[in-house]
Amino acid sequence: MADIRKTAEQTRDYRERFEFRLTVGDNIICQRYFRINNFNPVSLRSFDLPETIRACADMIDKDLKEKTQVYLELYSPKVFQNREEMDEYFSNEENRKKMMLGEGIVIKGDERNYFWSGEKGPAVAEFKFDDGEFSNELSDEDIVEYKFSFYDNGWNMDEHREVCSVVWDGIYPKFVRNQIDLSNKKYRYDDDDTSRLSWEQYLLYKMCEGKSDLVWRIIKEICFTCSSQDDKWYTLMEPIKKVAKKEEK
């Protein structure tokens, strides 16, 4: 019985040697352990690996930008500097035709939010959907640091060494960065009847619609780069020259 329990604990605590992390601010958003078959240690001293990690970071950045675009198309309200500007805009019949029923409207400095009610024009919304994200100017708090890192934890998992990483400043809406799912599976919806979804569920579904699993693509890219058995395939960094210390007399 003791042997069975020990085996179960070993299985639960087991980790693969290699790891990648996506960190937003100080929070780990996505972390995966994986193996690299036919791993070539030379790859860790190559320029090819940092290029691959940079490509993976670009892949994540592109995914979040595309989700931001969908989010803004479906959710962002029409923003006006003041009431007079709004009234002037909607006095034009062509502008009124551009508005969709239920589309949000925000007036800067006005605590109330509005929605387009059709023939009656702007109507006061019963709930506040803008917490300042659309009506306020961007501040330093809106710029968040994103970091994508690749680790080699060694065969005994004691080294835990960051091999390389990419850091960039992302300006994505709070809704997008709070719902990051690199697998794009969490909010998948296979039923054709989207009327059953809440507005938030529908928004998440549209943001992930047609997107592939980035976790698998990232692991695949790293494994490909680190598994060539031909050392000449790699562009190596120049080795660090160590200068021996002179013996004191």
- Could you read off the pLDDT of 125-173 as tens digits, one per residue? 887 777 777 777 777 778 899 999 999 988 766 677 999 999 999 999 8
- The answer to whether 40 touches 232, Cβ cutoff 8 Å, is no
* 62 and 168 housed in the same domain: yes
Number of alpha carbons in the 13 Å side-chain half-sphere of residue 225 = 23
Reduce the secondary structure of 199-248 to three states and give it as a string. HHHHHHHHHHCCCCCHHHHHHHHHHHHHCCCCHHHCCECCCCCCCCCCCC
Instruction: Give the residue numbers spanning the domain of 97.
Output: 77-124
* 70 and 145 housed in the same domain: yes
* 155 and 88 housed in the same domain: no
Q: What is the pLDDT of residues 64-116, one digit of tens each?
A: 999 999 998 888 899 999 999 999 999 999 999 989 888 899 999 888 999 89
* 59 and 151 housed in the same domain: yes
DSSP 3-state of 157: coil
Say whether pLDDT at 18 is over 60: yes
Task: For residue 111, give the amino acid letter.
Answer: E
In a domain, 169, yes or no: yes
* 69 and 82 housed in the same domain: no
Could you please report the per-residue DSSP string of 90-147?
A: HTSHHHHHHPPTT-EEEETT-SSEEEE-STT-EEE-SS---SSTTTSPP-GGG-EEEE
User: How far is the C-alpha of 81 from the C-alpha of 37, rounded, in Å?
Assistant: 58
- pLDDT recorded at residue 183: 96
In a domain, 119, yes or no: yes
Q: What is the pLDDT of residues 193-222, one digit of tens each?
A: 888 888 888 889 999 999 999 999 999 999
Neighbours of 208 (CB within 10 A): 19
- The answer to whether 63 touches 175, Cβ cutoff 8 Å, is no
In a domain, 166, yes or no: yes
- The answer to whether 157 touches 17, Cβ cutoff 8 Å, is yes
Q: How many domains does the chain have?
A: 2
Please state the rounded mean pLDDT for residues 171-193. 89
- pLDDT recorded at residue 217: 97
* 67 and 175 housed in the same domain: yes
C-alpha distance across the termini of the chain, in Å: 64
